[in-house]
Amino acid sequence: MDDYSAANFPPSVRYLNVPADCAGLRIDQALARLMPEHSRNRLQSWLRDGLILVDGGGADPKRKVWGGEALSVSEPRAGEHSEALPENIPIDIVFEDDALLVINKAVGLVVHPGSGNWTGTLLNALLHHDGTLASVPRAGIVHRLDKDTSGLLVVARSLQAQTELVRQLQARSVKRHYVALVLGDLAGAGTVNEPIGRHPTQRTRMAVVPAGKPAVTHFEVRKRFGHSTLVECRLETGRTHQIRVHMAHIGHPLVGDETYGRRRAAEARLCAFPRQALHAYRLGFMHPVTRRECMWEVPMAHDMDDLLCGLEAA
Respond yes or no: is residue 49 known to be catalytic: no
306: phi then psi, degrees, rounded to nearest 5: -60, -40
At 68, the amino acid letter reads G
110/181 Cα distance (integer angstroms): 21
Give the count of alpha carbons within 13 A of 3, CB side only.
7
Q: Which of 169, 111, 203, 118 is nearest to 285 (CA)?
A: 169
Locate all alpha helices (DSSP H) within 250-296, ordered by sequence.
268-272
198/206 Cα distance (integer angstroms): 5
255/247 Cα distance (integer angstroms): 11
CB atoms within 10 A of CB 49: 14
> What are the E-state strand segments in the chain?
11-17, 52-54, 70-76, 92-96, 100-105, 150-156, 175-183, 190-193, 196-198, 206-208, 216-224, 228-235, 278-286, 293-297
Q: Which residues contact 282 (CB under 8 A, 6 or more apart)?
A: 152, 175, 176, 177, 295, 296, 297
- Say whether 62 sits in a helix, a strand or coil: coil
Q: Which of 3, 146, 257, 306 is catalytic?
A: 146
The catalytic residue positions are 146
